[in-house]
Amino acid sequence: MHPVVKRLFIHPPVIPLLIVVSFIDGFWTQGNISNLAGQISLDGILVSGLVIVMIAAGFDLSIGVVMAVSGVVAIALAPYGLGWAIVGSTMTGLIAGFLNGTLIARFKINPFIASFATMIMMRGAVLYFTDTRPTVYFDPLINSIGRGKILGIPFPFLIMLFVMVVLHVLLTTRAWGRHVYAIGSDDQAARLAGLSVSRIRVQVYILCSSLAALTGALLASKLATGSPIVGASTALFIAAAALLGGATLQGGKGSLPGAFVGVLFISTLVNAMNLLVIPAYYQRISIGLLLIFLVVLDGAIKRWRLK
């Protein structure tokens, strides 16, 4: 079976899902498609970073809080100009990624524990800084970045496509991409081959957090608000999308096109549940069960291959 056919019809079944949701009133309206494209844009940027971390046999639970902190920082610095807002949000991502990467690569701390610790610290810091209240600032130039359109296409969607194309080329045609796959497949063999495993791991975490910061800045630009509580369950949704797209928790597998298809499936599913007025807690239960199923399936496939 051709990989594209398998990706669109079976793993995950995007085309069958689109056929089913077509029968939901209002799905193909311009407003709903615009909302769906906006959600895919933000989730697509996030999953681009997380899937590269997963290819390198890592994981990052802190992407949601990095998104929140960068949004708050961007809005807090917006009164001083667009340049300061960009610098502030970028530095947020760089610092968080460097911290995660250093804890994991240099101090050999489990990725889940290290990124969870980062998440807790950053969430506490942003809640203290904002006194748990959203930071609001409206500026036509800054807000146009998150809300603007080019030929009817949301600007964040174009940013997502650019990010995914660049990273896909980087992973498939450059030595760095081959090195990421190598350390994810077998870091000991990669080390014996002369690769700087620790340095590459730090780089992938910096990249992941930087893209989370970009997402937070775009969301804050769109809403003219930096919320300290946004992104609480982001890692759950993005991890599900990455796993649906072919990434594994063992590393060495995954791609940007697969990640995009995974995001398309999850975003469409959530959008359909919203149109059907399914309560948010049922949605989280559904996505959680899907994630458990994917993790169990991932482990079963690994055990089957070892036999």
* Rounded mean pLDDT, 286-297: 78
Largest Cα span, the chain: 61
The mean pLDDT value for 104-114 works out to 95
Q: What is the mean pLDDT of residues 122-127?
A: 96
Q: Is there a contact between 187 and 196 (Cβ–Cβ < 8 Å)?
A: no
The CA-to-CA distance between both ends of the chain, in Å, stands at: 24
Q: In a 10 Å sphere around its CB, with 0-12 CB exposed, 13-18 middle and 19+ buried, how is residue 107 labelled?
A: exposed
Higher-confidence position of 280 and 229? 229
pLDDT of res. 237: 86
Query: Please, what is the average pLDDT of the chain?
Result: 91
Indicate whether 2 pLDDT > 60.
no
pLDDT-derived band at 9, boundaries 50, 70, 90: low
What does the pLDDT average to over 253-280? 92
Query: According to the model, what pLDDT value does residue 57 have?
Result: 96
Q: Return the DSSP state at 135.
A: E
pLDDT computed for residue 233 by the predictor = 83
Residue 236, pLDDT above cutoff 60: yes
Give me 277's structure tokens: 């007025």
Q: Which residues pair with 150 in a beta bridge?
A: 153
Provide DSSP, 213-231. Answer: HHHHHHHHHHHTEE-TTTT
Instruction: Answer yes or no: are the C-beta atoms of 193 and 182 closer than 8 Å.
Output: yes
Tell me how far apart the alpha carbons of residues 44 and 164 are, in angstroms, rounded to a whole number. Answer: 8
CA quadruple 186, 188, 192, 198: dihedral sign? positive
* Domain annotation for the chain: domains and CATH numbers: 3-306 (1.10.3470)
